[in-house]
């Protein structure tokens, strides 16, 4: 059983390293996610955020604009998840009255 786990782990690592050889170089400006147009000729989201963030929200920090304006419903969902995690801690560790 233990050897089967070792074989599975080594095979998974080999598969990931084999897959990573197809990735573009790290930091290459010609990477597809850094272009202005994708291969289906639509606007790439990151390039639009860089170009229009200051005009849309008057804020220099682009990460704040993406977090609070463009993807604000996503951030609202994350905050509800954090709130639910706190409530779960409260409910698990509450002292139950012995009947």
Partner 1 sequence: MLDFLLGHYAYWLTIILLCIGLYGILFKKNLVKKTIGLTILQVSVVLFWVSIGSKWDATVPVRDPGISTAEVANYLNPLPHTLMLTAIVVGVATLGVAFALLIATYNRYKTLDEEEILEQIQ
Partner 2 sequence: MRTQFESPIVLLGARLLSPYIMLFGIYVIFHGHYSPGGGFQGGALLASSIILIRIAGGRLVSRLQIKEFFTTPMAAIGVIVYFAAGFISVLYGSYFLDYEALPFPGDLTPAELRYYGILVIEIGIGIAVMAILVMIYDHMARGEDYA
Residues of this chain that bind partner 1 (CB under 8 A): 2, 5, 8-9, 12-13, 16-17, 20-21, 23-29, 31, 33-34, 36, 45-47, 49-51, 53-54, 60-63, 65-67, 71, 74-75, 78, 81-82, 85-86, 88-89, 92-93
**CB neighbours of residue 50 within 10 Å:** 13
| Block residue for tokens 């560790």 | 93
Q: Contacting partner 2 (CB under 8 A), which of 1, 4, 39, 93?
A: 93
37 beta partners: 43
**Quick one: residue 58, left, alpha or beta (phi over 0 = left, psi -120 to 50 = alpha)?**
left
Site for partner 2 in 28-67 (CB under 8 A): 55-61, 63-65, 67
């Amino acid at each position: 059983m233990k050897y089967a786990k070792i074989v599975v782990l080594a095979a998974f690592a080999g598969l990931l390293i084999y897959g990573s050889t197809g990735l573009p170089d790290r930091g290459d400006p010609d990477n597809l996610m850094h272009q202005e147009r994708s291969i289906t000729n639509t606007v790439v989201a990151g390039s639009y955020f860089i170009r229009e963030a200051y005009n849309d929200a008057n804020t220099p920090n682009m990460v704040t604009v993406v977090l609070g304006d463009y993807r604000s419903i996503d951030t609202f969902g994350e905050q509800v998840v954090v709130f639910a995690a706190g409530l779960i801690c409260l409910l698990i560790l509450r002292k139950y009255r012995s009947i």
